[in-house]
Amino acid sequence: MSVAEQIAATLAAHGDTLRTAAERLPAPRRAPVLPEEDDDADLPEAASWPSTQPMLIELVYVDGRGRRSTRQVTVRAVGRTAEGYWLRGLCHQRGAMRCFRIDRIEEVVTPLDGQVYENASAFLLDDLLIAGEADAATKGLDVAFARSADVVLALAFLARCDGDYADREQAAIAGVLARRAGDVAFDATAAARRIALLRPDFDDFTAAIGRLAATPDDALELARAAVEVVDADGVVAPEERRILRDLGEILMGAG
């Protein structure tokens, strides 16, 4: 078994024991409220929309019948129909995929810091999800994330595995992103905001490390960065300690 395959197998073996804490939702800013009847269903076109990094947001939404609701959503894709831009994501209150027209979102809240964005379209379209008509720095951020998508998603999952996605862990991930971006210029503040919202689930995690195993250099960088990120907040949970030990043994053998 190659070093890259050892790293992938080690992370996958630990991941299933960590998924409960890593996938735990932060306490909502306000109690989620849903319509009594089912809300806007998933759109047929949604399956072909470009995917984005899985990001958790809270939103206040007014559906096509004028009903207001609040909910937590992990965004998975953004697309456009004749009516405008939509986002598609897992509604955690429904436990199912749903589509939300972006111009009907009255408010977005970022869960970790509770910051409220009343101009949801500007926040979602310009800063996070779509760079088609954005400035060069936002486009550069998309390029940087595309280069490092699997490494960043795997690190975000590992950082969350103790139930606390600490600022220092996020900063460590941002450092990995900047290092891998090379000469691509991007807005560091927007990058930090996007990293703070990342909420990959166990399936994202295992898929990412499976792809990284095909590229030994990327797998080794993930292992080294995992040690850096997990240790960044100064609090190493028992599960994290076991990961660091196993990765350390692999890296020592590779060195």
DSSP-assigned states of every residue in 147-178: HHHHHHHHHHHHHHTTS---HHHHHHHHHHHH
Mean pLDDT of 222-244: 77
Predicted confidence band at 38 (pLDDT cuts at 50, 70, 90)?
Answer: low
Mark whether 152 and 100 lie in a shared domain: no
Mark whether 85 and 194 lie in a shared domain: no
Domain count, the chain: 2
CB 193 within 8 A of CB 122: no
Mark whether 157 and 248 lie in a shared domain: yes
The most distant pair of C-alpha atoms in the chain lies apart, rounded to whole Å, by 62
Residue 167 lies in a domain: yes
Mean pLDDT of 47-56: 86
What's the token pair of residue 146? 């595309």
Mark whether 64 and 15 lie in a shared domain: no
Domain with residue 75: its CATH number is 2.30.30
Mean pLDDT, the chain, rounded, equals 83
Domain membership of residue 10 as a residue range = 3-25+135-254
Mark whether 141 and 231 lie in a shared domain: yes
Range from 2-6, 40-44, 160-164, 217-221 carrying the lowest mean pLDDT: 40-44
Query: 18 by DSSP, 3-state: which?
Result: helix
What's the token pair of residue 139? 């486009």
Mark whether 165 and 198 lie in a shared domain: yes
CA 167 to chain centre: 15
Mark whether 95 and 157 lie in a shared domain: no
Predicted confidence band at 177 (pLDDT cuts at 50, 70, 90)?
Answer: very high
Predicted confidence band at 83 (pLDDT cuts at 50, 70, 90)?
Answer: confident
Query: 187 by DSSP, 3-state: which?
Result: coil
Predicted confidence band at 175 (pLDDT cuts at 50, 70, 90)?
Answer: very high
CB 49 within 8 A of CB 78: yes
Percentage of the chain lying above the pLDDT 90 cut: 24
Mark whether 8 and 100 lie in a shared domain: no
Q: What angle do CA 101, 103, 107 make, to 5 degrees?
A: 100
